[in-house]
Chain A
Amino acid sequence: RPAAMNAFELISTSQGLNLGSLFEK
């Protein structure tokens, strides 16, 4: 049920917030 999602939870999955990729060779 998408409407039950937490908006911030959804946003936090953005690739732009995954700074771990900076460390990938």
Chain B
Amino acid sequence: MGCVCVKPVKHTPGYEDPVILASETTFTVSEVEALYELFKKISHSIIKDGLIHKEEFQLALFRNSNKKNLFADRVFDLFDAKRNGVIDFGEFVRSLSIFHPDTEKTEKISFAFRLYDLRHTGFIEPDELKEMVLALLNESDLCLSDDVVQQIVDKTFAEADKKGDGKIDPDEWKEFVVQNPSLLKNMTLPYLKDITMAFPSFVMKSEVND
């Protein structure tokens, strides 16, 4: 009589059951499993501990592990929900789910607000907005005088800060995004729609049928 030996699949620390992750996010089980392939690739690129460190995140984003970027730092910090300096698989999947084309716009609006609320005050304030504009100019070839940067910040505030109290609150942000939908463009990653095509190798190892 024959027997079938099934070798248990080894997972890295922080691994979570794809069935549970799929139930909590916009992804299917197959998509979560495909994301695990991407996660493994990123999380083993420098420090092979199965967690994404900031240098590995920067390497995946910029092909350079030392590139400092305010916005990449903010995204990393928001992905790192447990605030322990690394991104584990569950955090990776839950955060990327916000960028899924089928995820509710309100979730995307709220994530973008938290991204831009640099000092976690619950508001986007003029000095934060100016700091972000300067950071963007620093990473691009665009050169603008301080006066022009100030005008851009003032004009944006005049449009977004409807209550005129000198800060943008979540409701004002929502209204501003509805009027300027292009601001949410980078909150949607079309790649996530066909993640199983991008990482087909998971299909051979899949432990669960959708």
Q: Which residues of A contact B (CB under 8 A)?
A: 2-23
Contact = CB atoms under 8 A, between A and B. Distances in A.
29 contacts: A6-B152, A6-B159, A6-B180, A7-B129, A7-B153, A8-B116, A8-B156, A8-B176, A8-B180, A8-B183, A9-B180, A9-B183, A10-B133, A10-B136, A10-B152, A11-B133, A11-B136, A15-B62, A15-B71, A16-B61, A16-B69, A16-B73, A18-B186, A19-B75, A19-B96, A21-B60, A21-B62, A22-B38, A23-B191
Nearest to B195: A23
B133 A16 contact: no
A18 B133 CA distance: 16
B155 A20 contact: no
Contacts of B115: 17
A6 B152 CA distance: 6
Contacts, number: 95
A5 to B, nearest CB: 5
Interface residues of B, number: 43
B189 A6 contact: no
B129 A19 contact: no
Interface of B is mostly: helix
B42 A22 contact: yes
Given A6-B156, A12-B186, A22 B60 contact: yes
Q: Which 9 A-B pairs have the closest CB atoms?
A: A16-B71, A16-B72, A16-B69, A7-B156, A3-B151, A23-B191, A14-B71, A17-B186, A17-B71
A15 B137 CA distance: 11
Interface in B70-102: 70-75, 96, 99
Interface of A is mostly: helix
A4 B183 CA distance: 16
Nearest to B147: A3
A23 B129 contact: no
Contacts of B140: 13
A23 to B, nearest CB: 4
Nearest to B57: A22
Contacts of B73: 16
Contact of B38 (A15, A17, A23): A23
A12 to B, nearest CB: 6
